[in-house]
Amino acid sequence: MQLHWREVIRRPVVTEKSSYNVDLNNQYTFVVNSRANKMQIKQAIELAWPEVSVEKIRVANMPAKRARRYRRVTTRKVGWKKAIVTLSPGDSIDLFEGV
């Protein structure tokens, strides 16, 4: 099943570790659709930001969190898929435009 490129990339992951990887290794982390593969992720990144070229992609399935009980409600976080995208040297993505 072919996904539209806007359906592939859900949102960027903004943590201390991901911002450290941006500065040090030129790697960006995104939450992606769980059905997307590496080729679809690469095409989506290059369509969303035409001035960059993707060098490498690593994909990891993050497991669901166990059930937690809070008062009378039991909650569980669902699993998700993340992609760590390495860009070519000199390329960068401005995730926070206009901030």
Asked if residue 65 is part of any domain, the answer here is yes
Asked if residue 10 is part of any domain, the answer here is yes
pLDDT at 75: 79
pLDDT at 71: 75
What pTM was computed for the model?
Answer: 0.86
Question: Which CATH number belongs to the domain containing residue 57 in this structure?
Answer: 3.30.70.330
For residue 26, which amino acid is it? N
In 39-96, where do the E strands start and end? Answer: 54-62, 68-70, 73-75, 80-87
Asked if residue 70 is part of any domain, the answer here is yes
Asked if residue 50 is part of any domain, the answer here is yes
Structural domain of 82: 5-87
Q: Name, in order, each residue with C-beta under 8 angstroms of 67's C-beta and a sequence gap of 6 or more.
A: 74, 75, 76
Helix/strand/coil percent split, the chain, to 5: 25, 35, 40
pLDDT at 99: 55
Place of tokens 């490498």: 56
Give the pLDDT confidence of 11-60 residue by residue, as tens digits.
Answer: 999 999 999 999 999 999 999 999 999 999 999 999 999 999 999 999 99
Helix (H, G, I), strand (E, B) or coil at 7: helix
Count of domains for the chain: 1
